[in-house]
Structure 1
């Protein structure tokens, strides 16, 4: 197998964690309509069942750091794949078992733990094994996999639900929707046994010879030796035998910047649009409930196309330019949607605004944040720092997802002068903060080794 094929293979396998992330996020949207009737859920309980996985994501991201340090990136991903599989089966327990709301929530939280662990370890693993000149593109495979998973699950749930009557969907359809995740989760689990361990983790654990062997499968011999030496020198500079002071000003500053960027990804409003896109389209364009699938597929298609664009530009144009361009596009998209709502003149401009926002996010904050988080932290604290940043992102996701419908339904938002547009102007304000944070604090990491990026922080 060629070095290029080997790198593509292990990147693709790792990125399957992202596909399961997107799939699991989407499957509950398709299943909840029928399981809500099966369990006769109140609105409050429906919200808890739908959002319970986010709590698992939060704690999974927190646990991912210690797991990654102790067991390594590869074995952490294996644990996440096992949790995915258990969650997929348990969420749709066969009728012969007494499925209750409590057991359903328990298995959803297990799946969330798997997502939280994978969302930190998968992009970090890819970043640590990819050559610097294509690292951005390789890490973007993770975001692409999320988008593909989100797209596939809409088709899968539609195919399952469309072939059953409503009574059958209420009885078994939603179970099959959850079980459909067993296919990608089992594939992820099996293939993970064929990928190598992270060379940087191996060096951290003192296993230089195995690290050199893995690096030689990706680089030529001279480059592999140089890469190994760079890793060793980086860890030597950090003096790994001395206990890390995570409360030092330098480390707190680096983690704070990464965490802020991670949180701001959610405060763009992306998940408000993805989770509540059908409601937005219904109000803006008068679409009926029967058009929900078409709306979801349209959003997912635009998301997919612009994620592909980001993949092939992130290493050529750099991380910061994409953040600037994407932020401008997100502001434009929400201005079109917000003003059309404010002026009570909804129509094609409103739709265009939503699609411009989705495309701009997919070009920038979607993939680039994962790229930056996977490469901006020094070797010694990468696992700990990423777990903090990713956990904060899941907390922000939960906060935005819970508060968006509250703001949407408020009297202030629905009265003059907002007429339903207030949330989008709030999101615009946060997007402008992203521009400032990017300009002031985020380093350009294009083409730099992880060790060179580490030197940047020391000079700052």
Structure 2
């Protein structure tokens, strides 16, 4: 297999973890109405069923760091694929099995564990294996796969939901929505056995010959020899002193900066829009219930298109310029939505605001944060630092998803002068923080090897 095709295979297979991330997160959006009717869920129980997977994501991201160090990136992803498969089947157990809310939550948490493990390991694995000049684009394959996962699952749930009657969807249609995830999850599990292990993990374990063989296949002999020397030099300190002081001033600062950036991705409000897009379209924008699934597809489509734009510009323009451009677009988008809500002039301008926000996020904070997190941490702390940053991101995701409907329904938000716009102005404030953090603390990593980026912190 030629070098380019081999790299594409590696990126595509590992990015399937991102597709399952998007698919597993999005499938509950399409299924929740029908399973709520099936089980007769209260609002509190419905929130628990929907939010339980996020708790699994949080735990999965925490264990992903030590797991990645112990068994490697590849086998960590294999474990996540097994969890995805078990979750997909178990969430839609056939009627002959006594499915209960507790069993459903159990399998949703299993899926969350899979997402947490994959969300840390997949972008890190791609970054560690990709050539320097196209690393940004290859890591954005991961974000692209997440977006494709959202888009495909909205199409799948829309198809299942519209081909069955309401009674059939309530009885068993929601089960089929969960089972549709079995196709990508089993494919992910099988294909992972054909990709190599991370050369940087192999070097970390002292398997330099194996690492060099993989680097030669990816970069050619000359570049591979240079890169293995850089990797060994960066790991020398770790080999001399196995215990790394994570609380030293320099290392703690890197972890804090990465974690803050990771958390701010969620505080843009992206998942409030994706998870509660149906409510936004219905309550804020005046769409009817029958249009909800179709509107979700529109959101996912815009997200998909602009992720492609990011993929082809992140190595050309750089990471920081995309963050600045995207932040401006997100602010303008939420200003359009917020002001039209305040003035009670909801209409096409409001919809343009939502779509502009989605497009701007997909161009910037969506893919670029994953690129930066996979690049910015030194070799010796990458696994655990990524674990901290990604688990904090899932905790922030849970906070936003739980607090958004509370703020939306609060008396302060409903009444004048806010008229339903308060959450969007809160999100604008956090986006302004992103601009400051990017300017002050984030290095430009375009065109630099992982070891050269490590030198920036020194």
Please state which band the TM-score falls in when normalised by the shorter chain: over 0.9
Do the aligned residues in 2 keep the contact of 1:58 with 1:392 (CA within 8 Å)? yes
1:268 corresponds to = 268
Q: CA deviation at 1:238?
A: 4.2
Which structure 1 residue ranges, 5 or more long, are not aligned?
none
Whole-Å Cα distance in 2 between the matches of residues 414 and 41 of structure 1?
A: 26
1:298 corresponds to = 298
1:15-53 deviation line (CA, Å, top 9, x unaligned): 000000000111111111111111111010001001100
1:179 corresponds to = 179
Whole-Å Cα distance in 1 between the matches of residues 112 and 330 of structure 2?
A: 28
Do the aligned residues in 2 keep the contact of 1:238 with 1:380 (CA within 8 Å)? yes
Output the TM-score relative to the length of structure 2. Answer: 0.99
2:410 corresponds to = 410
Whole-Å Cα distance in 2 between the matches of residues 364 and 133 of structure 1?
A: 19
RMSD after superposition: 0.8
Q: CA deviation at 1:237?
A: 3.8
Whole-Å Cα distance in 2 between the matches of residues 285 and 440 of structure 1?
A: 37
Aligned length: 458
Whole-Å Cα distance in 2 between the matches of residues 167 and 278 of structure 1?
A: 21
1:433 corresponds to = 433
Q: Do structure 1's residue 335 and structure 2's residue 325 form an aligned pair?
A: no
1:356-407 deviation line (CA, Å, top 9, x unaligned): 1000000000000000000100000000000000000000000000001110
Whole-Å Cα distance in 2 between the matches of residues 286 and 159 of structure 1?
A: 23
SS at match of 1:218: helix
Whole-Å Cα distance in 2 between the matches of residues 30 and 71 of structure 1?
A: 35
Q: Do structure 1's residue 450 and structure 2's residue 450 form an aligned pair?
A: yes
Whole-Å Cα distance in 2 between the matches of residues 231 and 276 of structure 1?
A: 44
1:254 corresponds to = 254
Whole-Å Cα distance in 2 between the matches of residues 284 and 100 of structure 1?
A: 34
Q: CA deviation at 1:285?
A: 2.8
1:319 corresponds to = 319
Whole-Å Cα distance in 1 between the matches of residues 451 and 175 of structure 2?
A: 47
Whole-Å Cα distance in 1 between the matches of residues 416 and 219 of structure 2?
A: 62
1:348 corresponds to = 348
Do the aligned residues in 1 keep the contact of 2:318 with 2:444 (CA within 8 Å)? yes
Q: CA deviation at 1:256?
A: 0.2
1:393 corresponds to = 393
1:241-284 deviation line (CA, Å, top 9, x unaligned): 43111111111100000000000000000001111112212233
SS at match of 1:312: helix
1:47 corresponds to = 47
Output the TM-score relative to the length of structure 1. Answer: 0.99
1:82-112 deviation line (CA, Å, top 9, x unaligned): 0000000011111111111111100000000
SS at match of 2:346: coil
1:224 corresponds to = 224
Which structure 2 residue ranges, 5 or more long, are not aligned?
none
